[in-house]
């Protein structure tokens, strides 16, 4: 398979399952979180950390960073 076709095939397979057209599609332990801003919102309210811990992934909460500051400025403010 040509590398340029792989992403489209993955998106075509995942989009119907998620009911979500934009990318990325973020899943944790098989549960669909949403896109990038949905994951950031879940992180902000603590849901993402809980889901990751359920999967055996420990999150170091020591550093406080506004993750939304990494988003492009054209996105709707969170």
What is the predicted pLDDT for the residue at 1?
A: 47
Series of mean pLDDT values for 10-residue runs along the chain (78 residues): 70 76 84 88 90 89 73 69
Beta-carbon contacts of 2 under 8 Å, excluding residues fewer than 6 positions away, are none
Each residue's pLDDT tens digit, 47-65 = 999 999 999 998 776 667 7
Q: What is the pLDDT of residue 5?
A: 80
Q: Provide the token pair at 2.
A: 């040509």
Distance CA 27, CA 5 (A): 22
Question: Domains along the chain?
Answer: 3-56 (3.40.30.10)
């Amino acid at each position: 398979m040509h590398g340029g076709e792989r992403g489209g095939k993955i998106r075509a397979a995942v989009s119907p399952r998620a009911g979500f057209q934009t990318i990325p599609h973020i899943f944790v332990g098989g549960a669909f979180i949403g896109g990038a801003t949905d994951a950031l919102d879940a992180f902000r309210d603590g849901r993402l950390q809980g889901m990751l811990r359920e999967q055996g992934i420990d999150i170091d909460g020591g550093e406080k960073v506004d993750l939304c500051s990494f988003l492009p400025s054209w996105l709707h403010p969170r």
